[in-house]
Amino acid sequence: MAEAKIKESPFSPGWPVLPEYFVARIKEIQRLERSVNQTILGKNENIFITGPRGIGKSSLAGLIKYIAEKHSLIGSHCFLGGVRSLNEMMRMIFQRLLQDCKDESVFDKLKNIFADYIKSITLFGTGVEFTKDKGELQTLVDNFLPLMRKIYDQIQPNGKKGLTLILDDLNGISDVPSVKN
């Protein structure tokens, strides 16, 4: 399937894993590919990847982002290790979504959707910086689902079929009592 066709490495520098090593993860990749296909059909899929420290969760998630992008989804891999509030979580998720965006016309759409929250931006997104204002960020928390819908609707004319959001290192925020409850 898709993993056998990959020629270039989907990993960030510093993650020296070649995709062929993922033969050992064939079932997990196939399971996640099914979710990618469901997303393409317009269905919402939520998957938890769990496992011991260093087992390869982030690498697997990174591979799936790569596969999703090959299937015309937009993808974002957001690391939430230091995050302790939903406000900060929204900031990290949407900031990363713009930073990860590789398509200029999609980037422009995202930039318009989040115009009120973007405080600075360098050429084509690599230096997107969102507001740190708690009140402003709270509106992102309150409107998370409508925003997802808005992004989904607006990227369709650009040939994008959906969105794959990877929320990595969730342990920190899931231990915060106000978020748990």
Binding positions for Mg ion, rule: CB under 5 A? 57-58
Specify the residue, 81 or 127, whose C-beta has the smaller distance to ligand ATP: 81
Name which of 61 and 101 has its Cβ closer to Mg ion: 61
Residue 169: which region, alpha, beta or left (left: phi > 0; alpha: psi -120 to 50)? left
Task: Write out the H or E segment, with its range, that includes residue 108.
Answer: helix 104-113
**Within 13 Å, how many C-alpha atoms sit on residue 110's CB side?**
28
Reference 65, options 162, 150, 158, 170; nearest CA is 162
Residue reference for tokens 């590789």 = 102
Q: How far apart are CA 32 and CA 7, in angstroms?
A: 19
3, 29, 32, 58: which one binds ligand ATP (CB under 6 A) = 58
Burial 130-153 (b: 16+ CB within 10 A, else e): bbeeeebbeebeeeeeebeeebbe
Q: Is 24 in the site for ligand ATP (CB under 6 A)?
A: yes
When CB distances are held under 5 to 8 angstroms depending on the partner's kind, the choice from ligand ATP, Mg ion, none that residue 24 binds is ligand ATP
Comparing CB distances to ligand ATP, the nearer of 42 and 51 is 51
The yes or no reply on residue 4 touching ligand ATP (CB under 6 A) is no
Can you tell me the distance from the alpha carbon of 127 to that of 105, in angstroms, rounded to the nearest whole number? 17
- The residue within the footprint of ligand ATP, chosen from 10, 56, 75, 162 (CB under 6 A), is 56
Q: Closest residue to ligand ATP, Cβ-based?
A: 56
Scanning 31-39, 49-57, 70-78, 159-167 for contacts with ligand ATP by CB under 6 A, the matching segment is: 49-57
Q: Is 6 in the site for ligand ATP (CB under 6 A)?
A: no
Among 13, 54, 135, 146, interactor with ligand ATP by CB under 6 A: 54
- Compute the distance between CA of residue 113 and CA of residue 148 in angstroms, rounded to an integer: 11
Nearest distance, CB of residue 121 and Mg ion, angstroms: 28
- Residues within the interface to ligand ATP (CB under 6 A): 15-17, 21-22, 24-25, 51, 53-59
